[in-house]
Amino acid sequence: MTKIAVITGISGQDGSYLVEHLLDKSPEYSKVVGLYRRSSNISSLSRINHLLHHPNFITEECDLTDPHSIGHIIKKYNPDEFYNLAAQSHVGTSFKQPNLTFDVNTLGVINIIESILQYSPKTKLYQASTSEMFGQEFTASENSISNTIEKFQDENTPFKPQSPYGVSKLASHNLIRIYRDGYNLYGCCGILFNHESPRRGVNFVTKKITNYIGLLQNNLTNDKLHLGNLHSCRDWGHAKDYVRAMHLMLQQQYADDFVIATGHTHSIKDFLTLAFNMVNKNYEDYVVTDPEFYRPAEVDYLRGRSTKAFHILGWEPQISFEQLVSDMVNYDIKYYSNTKHKKVTN
């Protein structure tokens, strides 16, 4: 028996990799339906352009903040699996646009849940939660050695978010739990730690770094790279690994929540050092610390423990931190080597 899967946020990094992952499992999935915002132009879906003509892939406009819009999709397709990856996912932006953040990240989830219960109770729901829900438990410093500190966050760690983004995601996380317990919703939350790739948005710090290196190596910029707190530590994995975990969660008999992480943490300074070393440069010659990029409330240290995912899902990361950084740096250097970009950015 074949399955139908619906994925929100297909224009983003995770959505594009998840579409690929499910289509690779054809004919298990007879239809993979990708939803994109009505404010998006279909021509902007560059991350999935290579998939648009796949016979099992369908794209639909949908606005999660409109109950009728999401209800129409769920009623039309009666999906076996629904992956909600759409979000206002930039922490810094959430301080500037808190209303939008809650409209998409929380009210949008309520619309999905209510539509599933009304039109397709069989649907298994995956909700993208985040390590930003954990908040501040440890203060990093220049002298801390990231990978020797035996401190982790897992499914039993208390939540204390430090941003509107984290709060909005925690509200949705708790909604899934409530509807799972009270209405027998099959809802899983993936508490994903930071995951990156060449498809990462350029407003995120990892991509900001590798994008700059791509410009620099192709003589397309004379500017310095402006960043905020270089001592913040994150558990960075590859998005390709993390979408595998999303899929595995919905293949279980019982719904549950899982932390997905590598178990290793690195500072932004570590990322900079490794990325610039790959092009034989010292990041200190190119990077400026700029107070403009400091957040009103910072989470300094995140390091996940995925023991539960390993034992129940059989999941573990396959791509190392070094491979991730290399993948991103090499992609951006190659991207900007294209002649159409041959204009200096000042």
Q: For 160-200, write each residue's pLDDT tens digit.
A: 998 889 999 999 999 999 999 999 999 999 999 999 999 99
**What is the average pLDDT score of the chain?**
90
Catalytic residue selected from 132, 157, 186, 283: 132
What residues contact 182, with CB distance under 8 A and at least 6 apart? none
Mean pLDDT of the 125-153 span? 70
Say what percent of the chain tops pLDDT 70. Answer: 89
- Strands 225-227 and 233-234, sheet pairing: unpaired
What CA dihedral angle connects 301, 203, 13 and 331, to 10 degrees? -100
HSE toward the beta carbon, residue 251, CA cutoff 13 A: 12
Work out the pLDDT band at 300, boundaries 50, 70, 90.
Answer: confident
For residue 155, with 0-12 CB atoms within 10 Å meaning exposed, 13-18 middle and 19 or more buried, which class applies?
middle
Contact status, residue 175 vs residue 109, Cβ threshold 8 Å: yes
Helix (H/G/I), strand (E/B), else coil: 57: strand
**Residue 165 designated active-site:** yes
Q: Is the pLDDT of residue 143 over 50?
A: no
pLDDT of residue 345: 43
Domains of the chain: 3-200+236-264+303-319 (3.40.50.720)
Catalytic residue among 36, 77, 165, 283: 165
pLDDT at position 247 is 98
Q: Give the integer Cα–Cα distance in Å for 295 and 125.
A: 32
106, 130, 210, 262: the catalytic one is: 130
3-state DSSP helix/strand/coil percent for the chain, to nearest 5? Answer: 45, 15, 40
Rounded mean pLDDT, 14-25: 96
Indicate the pLDDT class of residue 339, thresholds 50, 70 and 90.
low
Please write the tens of the pLDDT for every residue from 276-293.
999 999 999 999 998 776
At 89, the pLDDT band (50, 70, 90 cuts) reads low
Residue 212's φ and ψ, nearest 5 degrees, are -60, -40
CA distance 122 to 141: 48
Model pLDDT, residue 72: 97
Closest-CA residue to 26 (of 61, 51, 62, 59) = 51
Is 262 part of the annotated catalytic residue set? Answer: no
Contact 9, 59 (CB under 8 A): no
Q: How many CA atoms does the CB half-sphere of 230 hold within 13 Å?
A: 17
Nearest CA-CA partner of 323 in 289, 263, 278: 278
pLDDT of residue 142: 43
Separation between Cα atoms, residue 41 and residue 36, nearest integer Å:
9
pLDDT given for residue 285 in this prediction: 97
33-46: average pLDDT: 74
Digit-coded pLDDT (tens) for 310-327 = 999 999 999 999 999 999
148: left (phi over 0), alpha (psi -120 to 50) or beta: alpha
Retrieve residue 191's tokens: 């508490």
pLDDT in tens, 201-259: 998 999 999 999 999 999 999 999 999 889 999 999 999 999 999 999 999 999 999 99
What pLDDT score was predicted for residue 297?
A: 59
What is the C-alpha end-to-end distance of the chain, expressed in Å?
A: 56
